[in-house]
Structure 1
Amino acid sequence: MMKGEDSEEMEIDLGDSSDPEEFENGLEPQSLWKAQPSLEEEENIHTSTLVEISDTKPLINIRDPRGINDCLKVTFEDVIAEPVSVRSGDRVWIWSNALFEVSRVWIYRIVTVLLAIPMSVLSGFVFAILSCFHIWMIGPCIRCVRVGTHWLQSLWSILLDVIVGPFLRSAERCFGSFSIHLAKE
């Protein structure tokens, strides 16, 4: 799977397909490992009556709407690749692919269980402090300075209009009649 493609359901049969006894009962061989579920299955997993009522439903289906973590869309083929000249056995390749995907998913889930709640509480605390500080301290201080220095803003505007403006207009008229012609010799 390439980085830009959508994930599709993919089954990898880790059994030996040459065994005739697997097909005697007419059923397909059971896959030992299954890749990411399809979109419909994932929605069914996360959808409940509580989630349908909740305002957080869009957060469950689209967890990175602004693409902040596009650099982390890593698949097995992005990390491990064998050239044509050196190849391992097919079973080794299939098992390493399966173990890579399973360990990546489960280790991420375990780490997020351990760290997600404390980090979200800490982040919420930091953003709450920053918001409170900005709303109750920085905003009013800036407003007071702007009210207190309104006379200075008016004086600066008058100085620019009376002194600098006429000087620049006269310089424009003086130098406006000059023209430069470039010629190759």
Structure 2
Amino acid sequence: MMKGEDSEEVEIDLGDSSDTEEFENGEEPETLWRAPPALEEEENIHTSTLVEISDTKPLINIRDPRGINDCLKVTFEDVIAEPVSVRSGDRVWIWSNALFEVSRVWIYRIVTVILAIPVSIISGLLFAILSCLHIWMVSPCIRCALVGTHWLQSLWSNVLGVIVHPFLTSAGKCCGGFSIHLAKE
């Protein structure tokens, strides 16, 4: 391909099941790499009151509501990109893309099956211990220190209000009268 020459778009049919043509029995076959669409009937299933007020129910559909892992939104084009001057065959590019996506998804699923439960238990245990220590030890100790040093807080507040604040206010008013003019000669 020469520089400046417009490239032609080539459409390649891989026989994907997402084509709009009808299938023999009138239904689309299921594919392993696509999640089935959510049915309205599944949302209307009767659940107990405890499940309805649960904090985890919205996490089923929105798993990163605060966007903590936005840096992990990686596609094939973010990792591998061929310039116009160097190109592999179209089939190589398409199959590389497909294998990248399938291996990324399935290896992630396999690793999460192996690691998700133990890491969740360890994280829950760690946060439970830290929460317990903070609620039952750190907060009461800080509260006791604040109660015991209330006189020191009052004294410091008076020192700031009587000595430091007026001194800095008068110094600011004295220095506020100065002006600097820069002139180019």
TM-score relative to the length of structure 1: 0.70
Q: Distance in 2 between matches of 1:125 and 1:157?
A: 42
Kindly indicate whether residue 42 of structure 2 is the aligned counterpart of residue 42 of structure 1. no
Deviation string, structure 1 residues 98-117 (Cα, Å, up to 9, x no partner): 11111111111111011101
| Equivalent residues in 2 for 1:145-184, closer than 5 Å | 145-184=145-184
What 5-or-longer segments of structure 1 have no aligned partner? 1-11, 16-22
Q: Distance in 2 between matches of 1:159 and 1:50?
A: 64
Q: Distance in 2 between matches of 1:68 and 1:112?
A: 18
| Equivalent residues in 2 for 1:81-160, closer than 5 Å | 81-160=81-160
Q: Output the aligned Cα RMSD.
A: 3.4
Give the conservation status (yes or no) of the 8 Å contact 1:14–1:91. no
Evaluate the alpha carbon distance shift between residue 181 and residue 117 of structure 1 in structure 2; reply closer, same or farther with a 3 A threshold: same
Give the structure 1 partner of residue 67 of structure 2: 67
Give the conservation status (yes or no) of the 8 Å contact 1:76–1:100. yes
Amino acid at match of 1:13: L
- Per the alignment, in what secondary structure is the counterpart of residue 137 of structure 1? helix
Q: Distance in 2 between matches of 1:34 and 1:133?
A: 46
Q: Distance in 1 between matches of 2:89 and 2:80?
A: 14
Kindly indicate whether residue 14 of structure 2 is the aligned counterpart of residue 13 of structure 1. yes
Give the structure 1 partner of residue 76 of structure 2: 76
Deviation string, structure 1 residues 95-139 (Cα, Å, up to 9, x no partner): 221111111111111110111011111110011011111101110
Structure 1 residue ranges, 4+ long, deviating more than 6 angstroms after superposition: 50-53
Q: Which has the higher helix share?
A: 1
Deviation string, structure 1 residues 34-85 (Cα, Å, up to 9, x no partner): 8645xxx43249x463779733331111111111111111111111222223
- Per the alignment, in what secondary structure is the counterpart of residue 43 of structure 1? coil
Q: Distance in 1 between matches of 2:179 and 2:77?
A: 62
TM-score relative to the length of structure 2: 0.70
Amino acid at match of 2:14: D
Q: Distance in 2 between matches of 1:71 and 1:182?
A: 47
User: Percent identity, aligned pairs only?
Assistant: 70
Evaluate the alpha carbon distance shift between residue 58 and residue 174 of structure 1 in structure 2; reply closer, same or farther with a 3 A threshold: closer
> Relative contact order (C-alpha < 8 Å, sep 6+): which is higher?
1
Q: Distance in 2 between matches of 1:145 and 1:92?
A: 69
Q: Distance in 1 between matches of 2:86 and 2:32?
A: 27
**Number of aligned positions between the proteins:** 160
